[in-house]
Amino acid sequence: MIVRRPFALLAALSFVAATAQGADPEPGHFVPFTPLSQKELYAKRMRFADGEPMISVGIMEAQAEVRVQADGPARLMFDEVDLPKTVYTPPETELILKPQRGKGAELLYWAVVDTKKYADTEGAQAARASWETKGQQAKVFEVGTVVSLQGNVLDTRERHVAVGGFTDRKKAEALINRLSQEEGLRPFLHEELKEVPSGTIAVYDEKGRLLHKAQDSLYFGTVEGGRIFVKQVEHGRGYQSHGRQDRSFWGHLYVSIDRSGRLTVINAAGAERLLGGLVPAEIFPTAPLEALKAQAVTARGEVFSKLGHRHFGEPYHLCSEQHCQVYAGAGFERPETNRAVQDTRGLLAVRPREGKEPLSLVDSVYSSTCGGFSEANEVVWDHVASVSLRPGLDGMGSDPALREFADGLNEGNVRRWLESYPPTECARSSFVKADKFRWKKTLQQPLLDKLLAPHHLGKLLSVDVLGRGQGGRVTGLRLIGTSRSVDVLRELPVRRLFGNLSSGMFVVDQVKNGRGEVTSLTFTGGGWGHGVGMCQVGAIGRAERGQDFRQILSHYYGGAVVERIY
C-alpha cells in the first residue's frame, strides 16, 4: 500500500503548544501520523502529543547495521525514488537496515568565546566586531529555545559569539587551546551544520533479501501501546561501561544517514515517557518517593535546559549518554520511578518570580554523593556563578558536630572534615556507601610517572593545592618537577590526572625520598562526583527524615520553587 504524505515545513526550535485533539488513541491501533523528514530532524523540529513536547533522543550513531522489530504490527514510512511510501509488517518481523552511498554532513567548527545572554542583537554584534578587529572570522549564534505553555513562557536562549569557522575540526581545537593559554579564556567547540548528510538506507528481511531503499531517513513505528526493539544498541562509548545491549523503546523510531555517512537511530517520545526511562537510570528506583519526585523534576529541568543547546550537527535534541542524561529506554522503567514522573507531570524547578515574568529554570545539575558539603558551580566548571548552585552544608537543624564547618571548608578545617564522618543528610541516608562518602587512594611512583608523563615534568618534586571552593573542592593543583612546573586547573581535569579520583574534595599527603622526589601520593577525600547542585544520596536522606520534594529542591537549588509548565 502506498500513502502520500504532505511535506512539512522546517521549524526552528521555538514552539507553542498545540491543544491535544480528540480522545486518547485506543491501544492496539495505528494513529494518524506524519513523520518528520530528515531535514526536519536536523532542524530539531518539535511536536506535541497529549499536551507535552516530543523529544528526540539519539540512541546510537555511526552504525553500519541496525536491526529493529516491534512486538506488534509495524509501520514503515519513507521516500523511495522520490515517492512517499507506507509499508506495514506483521508482528515481530525483524528488519535489517544498512547505509548505501552515504554522504556525510558538511560542518563548520567554531570556538565559542562569549556566552552572554545579550538582551539584543546589537550587543552580540558589537562583540563579534571586536573579535574581527583582532583578525578573527567571527559569528553570532543564537542557541536555546522559547517554550510557551499554558500561559507560561520559558526562554533559555543565549547568543554565543564564536570565532574560526573551520572545515577542519582540529584547527578549531587548536584555536581553542591557543585562546585558553594566551588569553585565559574558556572557549568551547560549536558545530555549524552547513549541509545535511544524504544517502540510501537499504531495508532487508531476516534472510538478507532486499525489500526497499529509503532516501536519507526512515520512520519505524508500531501500534499505540506497543514497543519497538533495537538489537545490539551501542552504549557508553568512551566510557568503561562501553558495550552493546538489546533495548526497547516507546514512541517513534527514526533511522537516518548521519554525519559519517552511516546510520543514527533516534527515539522520539513525549517528555514524560522519556523521563520514565531517564529517572531509573539516574537514581536508585527503590529510594523514597519524595526523593524520586525530586529527581524527576530535576531530570525534567535538565531536558528543557539542554534543548537547543547541544548536538547542532546531529538529527536529535539530546543524546542518551552522560553528556545529556543516561536514557536506556522502556525496558529499564520501574513502577516506582514511573509514579514519581506521573505525580510531578509538567513540573519544573524555577527561580521565584513576580507576576507573568518568564520562567527561569534552575541549573538542575546533580551528583551522586556530595560528601556532606555541596560546591559552587564556578569552582568546578569556571562558569558564571549561578544563584541556584551555591555551596552548602548538607545538614538539617543545628547539630553541634557541624558548627565548625557551617561557613565552609578551608585549609584550616578540611582535613578534620575528611577524617571524620560528620552527621550530614548525605551521611545519614540509608543509601550511602561508606567508601563513596569517605575514600582514600594511594599512588606509587611507577604509576605516578605513567600518569604524569604527558606533562614532561621530569621527576615529581611536589603537588600543591592552588585553592579551594567553599565546598572543599580544589580549584587546581601545581605540579612541580625537576624539568618544569605545570598548573592543572578545575575539578574534572584534576580528577582525571590521577586516574579518576572520586571527587575534587581531598587533601593530599606526599612521601619523598632523600633527593626530594615524590615516591607516593595519598589522597584522602569525600564524595563521589562533582558535588554541585542536588546530592542524590542527601536527597534520599532528607526524604527519609520527612522532607517533601519541594523542600529538597529548595535546599539544593538556592530557594527554588516548583511550577507547572503543562
* Cα 13 from Cα 156, distance rounded (Å): 11
Task: Measure CA 112 to chain center.
Answer: 19
Q: Give the per-residue pLDDT at 151.
A: 75
The torsion region of residue 355 among left (phi > 0), alpha (psi -120 to 50) and beta comes to left
Greatest pairwise CA separation for the chain in angstroms = 84
Question: What is the average pLDDT across 188-200?
Answer: 95
* Cα 118 from Cα 271, distance rounded (Å): 29
For 109, phi then psi, to 5°, come to -115, 130
Question: What is the average pLDDT across 261-266?
Answer: 97
Q: What is the pTM assigned to this prediction?
A: 0.85
Q: Which three cell numbers stand for residue 393?
A: 552544608
pLDDT bucket at 26, cuts 50 / 70 / 90: low
HSE-CB of 32 using CA atoms within 13 angstroms: 6
Question: What is the average pLDDT across 484-512?
Answer: 95
Q: Are 524 and 418 in contact (CB under 8 A)?
A: yes
For 443, phi then psi, to 5°, come to -120, 125
Q: Cα angle at 79 between 77 and 85, to 5 degrees? A: 50
**Residue 12 pLDDT exceeds 70:** no
Q: Give the per-residue pLDDT at 119.
A: 64
Other CB atoms within 10 A of residue 120 CB: 8
Sequence length of the chain is 566
Other CB atoms within 10 A of residue 121 CB: 12
**Residue 14 pLDDT exceeds 50:** no
**Residue 268 pLDDT exceeds 80:** yes
**Residue 6 pLDDT exceeds 60:** no
Q: Give the per-residue pLDDT at 27.
A: 64
Question: Pick from 365, 539, 231, 34: which is nearest to 376 by CA?
Answer: 365
Question: What is the average pLDDT across 295-319?
Answer: 93
Question: What is the average pLDDT across 86-106?
Answer: 94
Q: Give the per-residue pLDDT at 383.
A: 75
DSSP H or E run through 496: helix 491-497
Question: Pick from 417, 421, 423: which is nearest to 434 by CA?
Answer: 421
Q: Are 163 and 131 in contact (CB under 8 A)?
A: yes
Q: Which three cell numbers stand for residue 468?
A: 579551594
**Residue 18 pLDDT exceeds 70:** no
Eight-class DSSP state of 383: P
* Angle between helix 335-343 and helix 289-306 axes, rounded to 10 deg: 70
Q: Name which of 10-14, 139-143, 171-175, 386-390 the model is least confident about.
A: 10-14
Q: Give the per-residue pLDDT at 115.
A: 81
Other CB atoms within 10 A of residue 352 CB: 12
Fold for the domain defined by 106-195 = Alpha-Beta Plaits (3.30.70)
Helix residue spans in 344-395 (DSSP H): 377-381
Q: Which three cell numbers stand for residue 163?
A: 570565532
Q: Which three cell numbers stand for residue 258?
A: 548521519
Residue by residue, DSSP assigns 464-487 as EEEEE-TTSBEEEEEEEESS-EEE
Q: Give the per-residue pLDDT at 25.
A: 45
Work out the burial of residue 336: count CB atoms within 10 Å of its CB; fewer than 13 is exposed, 13-18 middle, 19 or more buried: middle
Between the two ends of the chain, the Cα-to-Cα distance in Å is 38
Q: Give the per-residue pLDDT at 2.
A: 33
Q: Give the per-residue pLDDT at 19.
A: 31
Q: Which three cell numbers stand for residue 76?
A: 514503515
**Residue 16 pLDDT exceeds 50:** no
* Cα 276 from Cα 223, distance rounded (Å): 19
Q: Give the per-residue pLDDT at 531.
A: 96
* Cα 452 from Cα 542, distance rounded (Å): 41
Residues with Cβ within 8 Å of 184's Cβ and at least 6 positions away in sequence, in order, are: none
As annotated, the residues of the chain forming the CATH 3.30.70.1070 domain(s) are 106-195
Question: Pick from 471, 521, 510: which is nearest to 491 by CA?
Answer: 471
Question: What is the average pLDDT across 210-231?
Answer: 95
Q: Are 565 and 359 in contact (CB under 8 A)?
A: yes
Residues with Cβ within 8 Å of 450's Cβ and at least 6 positions away in sequence, in order, are: none
- pLDDT tens digit string along 465-486? 999 999 999 999 999 999 999 9
Residues with Cβ within 8 Å of 352's Cβ and at least 6 positions away in sequence, in order, are: 559, 560, 561
Residue by residue, DSSP assigns 229-251 as EEEEEEE-TTSTT-EEEEEEESS
Q: Name which of 36-40, 209-213, 296-300, 397-401 the model is least confident about.
A: 397-401
Q: Give the per-residue pLDDT at 48.
A: 81
Q: Is 161 helix (H, G, I), strand (E, B) or coil?
A: strand
Residues with Cβ within 8 Å of 514's Cβ and at least 6 positions away in sequence, in order, are: none
Q: Name which of 152-156, 386-390, 462-466, 490-494 the model is least confident about.
A: 152-156
Q: Name which of 28-42, 160-174, 205-219 the model is least confident about.
A: 28-42
**Residue 431 pLDDT exceeds 90:** yes
Q: Are 128 and 138 in contact (CB under 8 A)?
A: yes
Question: Pick from 445, 444, 391, 387: which is nearest to 414 by CA?
Answer: 391
β-pair partners for 84: 79
**Residue 37 pLDDT exceeds 90:** yes
